[in-house]
Amino acid sequence: MDILIKGRNIPVTEALERYAWEKVERIARFFDDARTSSRAEVELIHERNRAISEPEVAEATLFINGSVLKASEATEDMYASIDRMSDKLERQVKRFRGRQIDRWQGHLKNAPEAGPEVAQPFVVEEEEEIEARIVRTKQFQMKPMGAEEAVLQLELLDHDFYVFTSADTGDINVVYRRRDGNYGLIEPAR
C-alpha cells in the first residue's frame, strides 16, 4: 500500500510521520491480495482557531480498487487523533471487506430492491441575498456501479448522498439517505 503523509499548519516530524505510517500500514493487512490496488493519503492538521477545543486533526482517505474510505478524528493531541482515526478507518475497512465477501457469496442478490420514487417539485422561497461561495472542490474517479454498491459507498463514507455512474445506463446518478432511514435514487429523465 502506498501511503502519503502530509501536514497542514504543522511540521510533520519524522516521529509523527512514522507513527501515522505504522497505524495506516496496519490496515494494509486487509489488502495483501496482489489484485488489490490501494493507496492512502493522511493529512495531519493543526487548526489555528483558538475557539476550537480539539485543534489536532488526523484525516485519512483510503483508495481501494476505485472505492474510497475516509476517516477523520480531532483531539487535543495529534497522536491520540491518529490513534482514533486509524481505529475508525479499521472498522470501516472491516465492514467494507465483510460486505464485499457477502456480495461475492451472493447474499446481496436476494435483497429486495426499492421501486422508483417520483420526486416531488419543491418551491424556492425568496430570502435575503446571501453571498455564497465555493470554498472547497473535490475530485474523484467515478467507476460504473450499481445502486446497491453506491449505497454501500454512501454508508462507508458516512455521507448523506453519493454521486456515481450507473453501470446499466452510463448516466450520472445520485443515491441519498432519506429521513425515514431508507435510500433514494435520483436518475436523469429520458
Would residue 128 count as lying in a domain?
no
Q: Say if strands 183-186 and 172-177 run parallel, antiparallel, or are unpaired.
A: antiparallel
Q: Which residues contact 48 (CB under 8 A, 6 or more apart)?
A: 9, 55
Domain count, the chain: 2
Check residue 118 and give its pLDDT.
43
Asked if residue 89 and residue 13 are part of one domain, the reply reads yes
Last residue of a domain, one of 50, 81, 104: 104
In 3D space, the residue among 166, 163, 171 whose CA is nearest the CA of residue 188 turns out to be 171
Last residue of a domain, one of 77, 104, 131: 104
Would residue 136 count as lying in a domain?
no
- The enclosing domain of 169 has a CATH number of 3.30.505.50
Check residue 172 and give its pLDDT.
92
Asked if residue 89 and residue 15 are part of one domain, the reply reads yes
pLDDT per residue, tens digit, the chain (190 aa), is 788 999 999 999 999 999 999 998 888 777 666 556 678 899 999 988 888 888 999 999 988 877 888 899 999 999 999 999 999 988 888 887 777 666 666 654 555 554 444 444 433 333 344 456 777 787 877 889 999 989 988 888 878 889 999 998 999 999 998 888 899 999 988 7
Asked if residue 153 and residue 62 are part of one domain, the reply reads no
Would residue 132 count as lying in a domain?
no
Check residue 55 and give its pLDDT.
92
* Domain extent at residue 164: 144-186
Check residue 179 and give its pLDDT.
84
Question: pTM, whole model, 2 decimals?
Answer: 0.57
Asked if residue 154 and residue 88 are part of one domain, the reply reads no
